[in-house]
């Protein structure tokens, strides 16, 4: 295996990208509330799901950062497939919601 030149930077960049993703989800959740008058149940549920996922990413990301940095230093890091799957599923759901709102 090739040793990592600076093991802290990759973990930091990953942590920052997850934080930006969570922030984008929270902004999207707040923006969705604009249509709460027209589609009250659908929008509130979608906004709550987005906000909960964004907050979960922030909370779990802080804990994962430390373990990822040490795993990279020991060259035993593995991708977080569950988090990537959850984020992909959430974005597909929000995309489907967007298409539904545009078509209807």
What are the pLDDT digits (tens) for 8-57? Answer: 577 777 778 888 988 998 998 999 888 888 888 888 888 998 899 889 88
Per the structure block, which two tokens stand in for 4? 């990592």
11 CB burial (10 A radius; 0-12, 13-18, 19+): buried
pTM recorded for the entire structure: 0.69
pLDDT of 60 strictly over 60: yes
| Site of tokens 């929000």 | 94
* Tens digit of each residue's pLDDT (9 = 90 or more) over 63-102: 777 777 777 667 777 777 887 888 888 889 888 988 887 8
In this predicted structure, what is the pLDDT of residue 51?
92
d(CA 40, CA 50): 15
What is the CA 33 to chain-centroid distance, rounded? 19
């Amino acid at each position: 295996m090739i040793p990592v030149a600076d093991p802290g930077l990759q973990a930091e960049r990953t942590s920052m990208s997850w934080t930006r993703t969570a922030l984008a989800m929270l902004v999207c959740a707040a923006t969705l509330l604009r249509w709460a008058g027209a589609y009250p149940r659908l929008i509130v549920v979608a906004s709550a799901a987005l906000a909960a996922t964004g907050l979960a990413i922030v909370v779990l990301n802080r804990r994962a950062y430390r373990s990822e940095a040490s795993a990279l230093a020991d060259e035993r890091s593995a991708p977080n497939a569950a988090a990537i799957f959850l984020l992909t599923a959430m974005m597909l759901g929000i995309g489907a919601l967007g298409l539904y709102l545009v078509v209807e």
